[in-house]
């Protein structure tokens, strides 16, 4: 177990209408200082499909895809002890202050990418924000139960809030 700090800043602007929260960045994401950087994570493919866009290749393209479509992105955890990228190993959580985003944007709904993010949000942030989140199936490669088409189908619900 190692104590790790989240160093990737949130993506949002004043027009963001939904906030998608992950749990904590994977090892690959931490190494590359950007969200969902593991090539097998399907997050960017899902976002591109939902918004009828090409799959973004660069970090700037990924940021642009989110901002243009009024999506804010961050993680629940600011720091924790974690083994590799394993959500199940997370201990000693310090949550992020998502009020930074809520105060400067127009967030209508919060979505959680996977069950771990959802349970962490409910435990650490929901009482403070007063916003109930919606849990979506994880885009992680560890979620083998959902193929890409199934994920896109489930994630389309975000369009109802944009």
- Known catalytic residues are 41
For β-strands 77-82 and 133-136, DSSP reports them as: unpaired
> Strands of 2-5's sheet, edge to edge?
2-5, 77-82, 91-95
CA distance 149 to 8: 29
> Strands of 109-113's sheet, edge to edge?
71-75, 18-22, 109-113, 133-136
CB distance 161 to 18 below 8 Å: yes
């Amino acid at each position: 177990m190692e104590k790790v700090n989240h160093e990737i800043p949130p993506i949002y602007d004043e027009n963001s209408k939904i906030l998608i929260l992950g749990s904590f960045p994977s090892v690959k994401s931490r190494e590359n200082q950007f969200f969902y950087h593991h090539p097998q994570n399907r997050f960017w493919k899902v976002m591109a499909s939902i918004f009828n866009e090409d799959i973004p290749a660069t970090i700037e393209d990924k940021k642009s895809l989110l901002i243009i479509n009024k999506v804010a992105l961050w993680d629940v955890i600011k720091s924790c002890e974690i083994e590799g990228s394993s959500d199940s190993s997370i201990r000693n959580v310090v949550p992020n202050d998502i009020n930074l985003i809520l105060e400067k944007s127009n967030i209508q709904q919060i979505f959680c990418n996977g069950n771990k993010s959802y349970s962490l949000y409910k435990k650490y942030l929901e009482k403070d924000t007063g916003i109930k989140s919606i849990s979506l199936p994880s885009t992680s490669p560890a979620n083998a139960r959902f193929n890409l088409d199934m994920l896109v189908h489930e994630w389309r619900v975000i369009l109802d809030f944009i």
